């Protein structure tokens, strides 16, 4: 029994360290993805045809290629352009760009779900287009998109596992290292999975609450 | 002092190949009420929306209180204002829509107060007091904290009227304010509009309620195929129409 706990501490320590990195990568990529996705969705609202094409192409490329390939390309290709990049920022940029494409569509759907009369009513009382966006459109978009946004965050948390492939020191990176040094394959991966579960499960419950609240609004 | 509040001059509006308005003129004196009637699709909403530049006219001009609305003259050319300048002018024109368009994330009070706060920079307490006063005017004092989804159509429209009143507008535009309402809810909204009319407000009102138009308006405009076919005081236009098309239109409405 004592040996078991000793092992748990030896393996759990590095994995917990990795969990910190996993959370950090998730939050940083989420921030990049939200800012980028919202910006792209708003630019698309302007209805400038060439810009719309560029954004649509970006969205399709990033949604239809594996995020692992995207992260590899950023990590291994940027140095050729003379930009050496660490695994952590490479992971955040890769996941952030990928998430920007996903969230652009989510925000666009949210904005389009609001009747155009809402915006007209805002202009009619003398609001500028910016005010109508800020006080009328965005607060409603936020409400509509919170559940899909939460689901995206959960998916992202688990997707961060792919960046172990560029040696970003997150949970799966540490798990693989521990397996090589201890050969405790099953135990290590179960522990790793458990850590993801502990992070993801509360988030999933939170999203469920958003969804319930949204149903109550409708 | 010039008593003309609104002047619409040779207004044209085209959507692609579709010519909706082909030279509409109207004048509204301060404190007066004009009703616009006409068959569905004849361009009533378009005309109203051109007055506050919700649609940009293809040609023609709008003058509010002696000032060119929505445009500026540079040399002998007219150019559209910036959105910011336009917003400043629109603040003087209240608009009530067929579909209410209350903002669902805000309570009745906030729906009314947010305009004065953001547009005129009123502080929250003052704006709330104004909102409560306007909601009282439309007999909605008992629902100030309610959200739009929990209000009936008639109540929503009354809040929307309060929202427009809070602009303290020079002119009110109503676009079929009761057309989306169940018959039993129409009366309460018409009553409110009637009370506002009695206060001496200036309004342009698009409506299918002919009897109401006759009671409230001092002038009626019959719009057909993008032009004003007949206009004048209600007892002439509604009770003694000259044009056959207007007679046909009125017969049709009475039958319903
Ligand atoms: N944004 C637009 N783009 C294209 N066509 C439009 C647009 N808005 C209105 N129209 C067309 O212009 C014509 C006049 O429309 P409008 O809404 O002004 O009519 P209306 O008199 O208000 O009719 P109703 O009594 O049904 O409300 C219609 O044929 C309509 O389809
Ligand atoms: Mg209409």
Q: Is B222 helix (H, G, I), strand (E, B) or coil?
A: strand
* Residue B256, pLDDT score: 60
Separation between Cα atoms, residue B129 and residue B126, nearest integer Å: 5
Say whether residue B148 is in contact with chain A using an 8 A CB cutoff. Answer: no
Buried b (16+ CB within 10 A) or exposed e, B194-218: eebbeeebbbbbbbbbbebbbebbe
* Nearest Cα to Cα of residue B116 among B98, B133, B136: B133
Residues contacting residue B118 through CB under 8 Å, at least 6 positions apart: A127, A131, A135
Contact A140 B119 (CB under 8 A): no
Contact A143 B105 (CB under 8 A): yes
Reported as a single tens digit per residue, the pLDDT across A166-182 is 888 889 889 898 888 88
pLDDT confidence of A183, banded at 50, 70, 90?
Answer: confident
* Residue A217, pLDDT score: 62
| Cα dihedral A49, A53, A58, A60 sign | positive
Residues of A in contact with B115 (CB under 8 A): 125-127
* Nearest Cα to Cα of residue A101 among A171, A46, A54, A159: A54
Q: Nearest CA to CA, how far is B242 from chain A (Å)? A: 36
Domains annotated for chain A, with CATH where assigned, are 2-217 (1.10.3720.10)
Looking at chain B, which residue has its C-alpha nearest residue A142? B105
Identify whether the C-beta of residue A102 lies closer than 8 Å to the C-beta of residue A141: no
> Residue B40 CA: which ligand is closest?
1
Atom of ligand 1 nearest to the CA of B48: 18
| Cα dihedral A160, A164, A169, A170 sign | positive
Reported as a single tens digit per residue, the pLDDT across A190-211 is 999 999 999 999 999 999 988 8
Looking at chain A, which residue has its C-alpha nearest residue B114? A135
Say whether residue B105 is in contact with chain A using an 8 A CB cutoff. Answer: yes
Reported as a single tens digit per residue, the pLDDT across B23-55 is 999 999 999 999 999 999 999 999 999 999 999
Reported as a single tens digit per residue, the pLDDT across B185-238 is 999 999 999 999 999 999 999 998 899 999 999 999 999 989 999 999 999 999
pLDDT confidence of B1, banded at 50, 70, 90?
Answer: low
Separation between Cα atoms, residue B236 and residue A212, nearest integer Å: 58
* Residue A23, pLDDT score: 93
Judged on CB neighbours under 10 Å (0-12, 13-18, 19+), B85 is: middle
DSSP code, position B101: -
Q: What is the pTM of this model?
A: 0.88
- Mutation test residue for ligand 1: of B12, B22, B24, B41, the one with most atoms within 8 Å of CB: B41
Residues of A in contact with B168 (CB under 8 A): none
Who lines ligand 1 at CB under 6 A? B 15, 18, 20, 38, 40-46
Contact B90 A128 (CB under 8 A): no
How many angstroms does the Cα of residue A19 sit away from the middle of ligand 1? Answer: 59
* Nearest protein CA to atom 22 of ligand 1, as residue: B45
* Residue B85, pLDDT score: 96
Contact B90 A118 (CB under 8 A): no
How many angstroms does the Cα of residue A190 sit away from the middle of ligand 2? Answer: 64
* Nearest Cα to Cα of residue A160 among A188, A211, A108, A195: A195
């Amino acid at each position: 029994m004592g040996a078991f706990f000793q092992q748990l501490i030896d393996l759990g320590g590095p994995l917990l360290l990795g969990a910190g990195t996993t959370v950090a990568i998730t939050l940083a990529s989420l921030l990049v993805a939200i800012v980028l996705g919202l910006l792209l969705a708003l630019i698309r609202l302007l209805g400038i045809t060439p810009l719309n094409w560029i954004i649509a192409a970006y969205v399709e490329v990033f949604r239809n290629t594996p995020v692992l390939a995207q992260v590899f390309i950023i990590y291994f290709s940027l140095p050729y352009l003379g930009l050496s990049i660490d695994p952590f920022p490479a992971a955040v940029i890769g996941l952030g760009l990928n998430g920007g494409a996903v969230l652009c569509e989510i925000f666009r759907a949210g904005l389009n779900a609001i009747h155009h009369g809402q915006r007209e009513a805002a202009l009619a009382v003398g609001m500028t287009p910016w005010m109508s966006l800020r006080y009328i459109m965005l607060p409603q978009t936020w409400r509509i998109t919170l559940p899909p946004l939460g689901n995206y965050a959960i998916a992202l948390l688990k997707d961060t596992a792919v960046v172990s492939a560029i040696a970003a020191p997150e949970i799966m990176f540490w798990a693989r290292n521990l397996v090589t040094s201890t050969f405790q394959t099953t135990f290590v991966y179960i522990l790793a999975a458990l850590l993801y579960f502990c992070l993801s499960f509360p988030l999933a419950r939170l999203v469920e609450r958003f969804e319930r609240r949204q149903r109550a609004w409708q | 002092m010039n008593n003309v509040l609104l002047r619409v001059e040779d207004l044209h509006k085209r959507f692609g190949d579709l010519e909706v308005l082909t030279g509409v003129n109207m004048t509204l004196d301060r404190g007066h009420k004009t009703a616009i009637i006409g068959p569905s699709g004849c361009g009533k909403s378009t005309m109203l929306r051109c007055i506050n530049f919700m649609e940009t006219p293809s040609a023609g001009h709008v003058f509010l209180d002696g000032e060119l609305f929505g445009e500026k003259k540079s040399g002998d050319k007219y150019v559209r204002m910036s959105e910011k300048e336009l917003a400043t002018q629109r603040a003087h024109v209240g608009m009530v829509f067929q579909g209410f368009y209350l903002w669902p994330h805000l309570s009745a009070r906030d729906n009314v107060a947010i305009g004065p706060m953001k547009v005129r920079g009123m502080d929250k307490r003052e704006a709330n007091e104004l909102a409560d006063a306007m909601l009282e005017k439309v007999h909605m004092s008992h629902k100030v904290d309610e959200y739009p989804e929990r209000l009936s159509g008639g109540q929503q429209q009354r809040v929307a009227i309060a929202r427009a009143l809070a602009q303290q507008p020079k002119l009110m535009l109503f676009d079929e304010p009761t057309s989306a309402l169940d018959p039993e809810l129409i009366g309460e909204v018409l009553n409110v509009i009637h009370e506002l009319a009695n206060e001496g407000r200036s309004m342009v009102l698009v409506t299918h309620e002919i009897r109401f138009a006759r009671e409230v308006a001092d002038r009626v405009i019959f719009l057909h195929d993008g032009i004003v076919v007949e206009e004048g005081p209600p007892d002439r236009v509604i009770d003694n129409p000259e044009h056959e098309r207007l007679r046909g239109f009125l017969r049709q409405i009475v039958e319903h």
